[in-house]
Amino acid sequence: MPLVTLTDVMQPALTKGHAVAGLVTLGWEDMRAYVAAAEAEGCPVILQAGPGCRAHTPLPVLGAMFRYLADASSVPVVAHLDHGYTAEECRAALDAGFTSVMFDGSRLPLAENIARTRDIAQMAHAAGASCEGEIGFVGYADGESSAGTDSAEAAQFAAETGVDAMAISLGNVHLQQDQDGGLDEPRLRAIEAVTDVPLVIHGGSGVPAAQRRALARGSNICKYNIGTELRMAFGTALRAAVEADPDRFDRVEILKDTHAPLVAATRRVLVALKG
């Protein structure tokens, strides 16, 4: 089916009590495995092009790849720009056929974050696309620390930007390779009390699977971004494929061996978020 917007999959998630996976793509092998897993589970999927992906493959190429996969798919697929840092980058994604953009102004002062996010939300809506914003910086494992989202600031941000989804900081971090952490549920409930905008968790790989599952059904968290967990699954499968036959050199043949393990790992992620 044709590409859909973030709103098209987030609003049903909000009303029906489940969450959608925003899966971080790096290339053809992972994005086609993600769609295959979503078809197997009969659920929508959000294909995300983050900064690393965009540095490797131009936005127009990514947009065409996402559109091709969506057109051949039986489930809804969103083409989403993850962590856009400028209006120009978000515009380029919309021009390339993306149906959703995320502007990350979380490092900016509140007023500037609101103003710039509002402008990009208006631009996205004028193009028939959706917009995700971020309030409360989400840090990185072994790097910058997260700054928890203030509920009053979240309410102001949601009301004044017009975003379709709001990424928040509840102790989650990007690039975490284990699930030893957990989300700050009292902070989450305080945010839910003041806004009904669908919420997004970046760094979802570090959130314990049981908490992901429970909050997908029992909160306004409608999207979990998952990257590291699936990159690790892909890397493990690729290493095994390379080492299985040291005389094999055709990368297409080697990469074929990553497909089934990555589909299986992705299905485990999707099952936990389904209603």
Active-site positions read 82
Which is nearest to 270 in space by CA: 84, 93, 1, 21? 21
Contacts of 119 (CB under 8 A, 6+ apart): 87
Give the chain's count of helices (H) and strands (E).
11, 8
Phi, psi of 72 (to 5 degrees): -90, 0
Whole-number Å distance between alpha carbons of 200 and 117? 16
Whole-number Å distance between alpha carbons of 165 and 178? 26
Q: Is 247 helix (H, G, I), strand (E, B) or coil?
A: coil
State the Cα angle at 59 between 53 and 64, rounded to 5°.
Answer: 105
- Find where tokens 């990159």 sit: 231
Rounded to 10°, the helix 185-192/151-161 angle is 40
Which is nearest to 1 in space by CA: 49, 38, 28? 38
Whole-number Å distance between alpha carbons of 20 and 132? 14
